Chain A
Amino acid sequence: MQIYLPIAEVSVNILLLLTMGAAVGFLSGLFGVGGGFLMTPLLIFAGVPPAVVVGTSASQIVASSVSGVLAHWSRGNVDFKMGLVLLVGGFLGSSFGVLLFTVLKQIGQIDLVITLSYVVLLSIIGVLMLVEATRAFLRRRSLTAPLRKLHQHTWVHGLPFKMRFRQSRLYISALLPMAIGFIVGILVAIMGVGGGFVMVPAMIYLLGMPTRAVAGTSLFQIIFVTANVTFLQAVQNHTVDIVLALLLIVGGVIGAQVGGRMSNRVPAEQLRILLAVLILALGARLAFELVATPEDVYSIVVEK
């Protein structure tokens, strides 16, 4: 069954969209990742124009983050103060990102930048996940829990504008979370992702936040940053397709819930290794597209 998407101006199979939403939602529920980085390439592959994909993904991520953050909130795992500081950077970064997106679109390099960003990020995340999950897998086998220092002092703690984050038990410079928020905000605008996969490691390793507060806090600020991107993309580029967003949300929400339930029952490390391999394969595929001689060196764009 085909459905004509008003903003994308293409006709796409409705079942394909629902299935894609459900599959990505399932993976995100299973692994606790946002899934935007899988959704964007899939939608482009399905024939939706990249600009519309990025604008619409943002609104879909709003929905999945809300349902995620509510679950974390009820368990008291959201550090709102930290979330707000991240958000300041996130707002600036995503607004700058939408502007950058518009300029890149005009000079015809947006597709290249999207693909390049994906290659770089997918490679880094894939490798990190693979290493981390393999270690965890081996560690569990040897049954020796590693000792981790509670607190380490680095150059980070020398920065000015220090703030106390009671819930995360941190006393650090507000500049650092703002900078992280800024960088992730740019990624949200340009790549159509929530940015959790960059935010979460940065919060753990750079800020030193306790792991249990990380996911909820990251989701909390993602809601507002992706909402900002949705708004700006709708106003500036007219690239938010409500019909497409709703279809993805329906599939994604169901998939995420099923995935979330499954995640307690499956061996986590092996699955994480599998996801890492999947991410690396996707990255390699995109990298190949950049390097290989294209089938068609010409492309046409309607100047509106």
Chain B
Amino acid sequence: MRRFLHRCGMALAAWALVLVVLPGAASAQELLFDWSPHRIQITSDFTGAPVIVFGVVDGPGDVIVVVRGPTDSISVRRKRRFAGIWINRDEVEFDDVPAYYAVASSRPLNEILSEETLKQRQIGIETLQLVSADSDDDVDLFRQALVERRQAAGLYSREPGSVKLVGSQPRLFRANFFFPASAAVGSYRIETILVRDGAIAKAQSIALPLSQEGRVADVTLWAHEQAPAYGLIAIILSLLSGWAAHLLFRRL
């Protein structure tokens, strides 16, 4: 946490410096943003990571920041009682489900943009379009269950977070996000949107990679790319440690 605060402090200080030294830089752009850390690295002590998105807005307007994870197909299963025990009986598959979804805004979303625009741009958790090719009567229930599971895991935001705007023209903004340890690896997208008079004045998006690094990445890559060798090494390691244990404890 301290490291995170330190990092945020450094980042904001850097921006303040940019504003002081280059007063013209911000006014040339209506919306400029950066984020920290630039890539999220999953190492063996990874327990989740905070990310701060910050920037500068020239002129009036509200700011919305949306972070989306890589998409996957997800099966949602429902248990039903069968012969006295609970068994997975129904299954609905959803395509292109983001592994992560969080949104932050400087004011409540429905005060900033019309419902149509929010829906069209998929801003806000309730506008997420989770499409299924399956024709179950209860698709809506399954969809809701999917969102709730993801919210419980900290992967989807429950409520929009806040974008804090500070200073007068040009204004600084920042928003905080958190990626839990269970966040999927892949390419995330950060989208910042500047809204003026109920319309999107400017939108920018950028990729944020979340990847396994170091030993963790080596093991995963190895397990998938060279599965037979990995399996053999796992066996040899086990054989050796069993043998070592025998030798070690026979002497004691």
Asked if A245 and B86 sit within 8 Å, CB to CB, the answer is no
**A62 proximity list for chain B (CB < 8 A):** 235, 238-239, 242
Could you say which of B7-15, B17-25, B67-75, B106-114 contacts chain A? B67-75
Could you say which of A7-15, A34-42, A75-83, A204-212 contacts chain B? A7-15
**B72 proximity list for chain A (CB < 8 A):** 302-304
Chain A residue with Cβ nearest B247: A70
Asked if A11 and B242 sit within 8 Å, CB to CB, the answer is no
Chain A residue with Cβ nearest B219: A6
Question: Does B85 make an interface contact (CB < 8 A)?
Answer: yes
Question: Does A271 make an interface contact (CB < 8 A)?
Answer: no
Q: Which B residues from 87 to 134 make CB contacts under 8 A with A?
A: 87-88, 91, 93, 99
| A300-B146 contact, Cβ under 8 Å, with A4-B45, A238-B224, A249-B238 | yes
Q: How far is the CA of A78 from the CA of B45 in the complex (A)?
A: 43
Contact of A253 among B43, B182, B245 (CB under 8 A): B245
**A238 proximity list for chain B (CB < 8 A):** 223-224, 227
Interface size on B, residues (CB 8 A): 61
Asked if B234 and A242 sit within 8 Å, CB to CB, the answer is yes
Asked if B224 and A59 sit within 8 Å, CB to CB, the answer is no
Nearest CB in chain A: distance from B210 CB, A: 12
| A291-B249 contact, Cβ under 8 Å, with A4-B181, A11-B181 | no
Question: Does A299 make an interface contact (CB < 8 A)?
Answer: yes
Contact of A257 among B45, B149, B249 (CB under 8 A): B249
Asked if A242 and B219 sit within 8 Å, CB to CB, the answer is yes
Question: Does B76 make an interface contact (CB < 8 A)?
Answer: yes
Contact of B45 among A2, A240, A294 (CB under 8 A): A2
Asked if B242 and A302 sit within 8 Å, CB to CB, the answer is no
**A60 proximity list for chain B (CB < 8 A):** 238
Contact of B73 among A71, A108, A230, A303 (CB under 8 A): A303
Chain A 199-242, CB within 8 Å of chain B: the 1/0 string? 00000000000000000000000010001001111110010101
| A243-B219 contact, Cβ under 8 Å, with A234-B234, A300-B75, A300-B76 | yes
Q: Which B residues from 164 to 188 make CB contacts under 8 A with A?
A: 181-182, 184
Q: How far is the CA of A299 from the CA of B50 in the complex (A)?
A: 27
Query: How many pairs, one residue from A and one from B, have CB atoms within 8 Å of each other in the complex?
Result: 175
**B181 proximity list for chain A (CB < 8 A):** 4, 10-11
Asked if A10 and B224 sit within 8 Å, CB to CB, the answer is no
Asked if B74 and A63 sit within 8 Å, CB to CB, the answer is no
Chain A residue with Cβ nearest B43: A4
Q: How far is the CA of A9 from the CA of B227 in the complex (A)?
A: 17
Question: Does B42 make an interface contact (CB < 8 A)?
Answer: yes
**B74 proximity list for chain A (CB < 8 A):** 300-303
Q: Which A residues from 264 to 301 make CB contacts under 8 A with B?
A: 290-294, 297-301
Nearest CB in chain A: distance from B227 CB, A: 4
Question: Does B78 make an interface contact (CB < 8 A)?
Answer: yes
Chain B residue with Cβ nearest A250: B241
Q: How far is the CA of A250 from the CA of B242 in the complex (A)?
A: 10
Q: Which A residues from 49 to 100 make CB contacts under 8 A with B?
A: 59-60, 62-67, 70-71
Asked if A67 and B243 sit within 8 Å, CB to CB, the answer is yes
> With A70-B243, A297-B79 given, can you name 4 additional A-B contacts, CB distance below 8 Å?
A7-B223, A59-B238, A249-B238, A253-B241
A interface list, Cβ under 8 A from B: 2-4, 6-7, 9-11, 59-60, 62-67, 70-71, 108-109, 112, 116, 223, 227, 230-235, 238, 240, 242-243, 245-246, 249-250, 253, 256-257, 290-294, 297-304
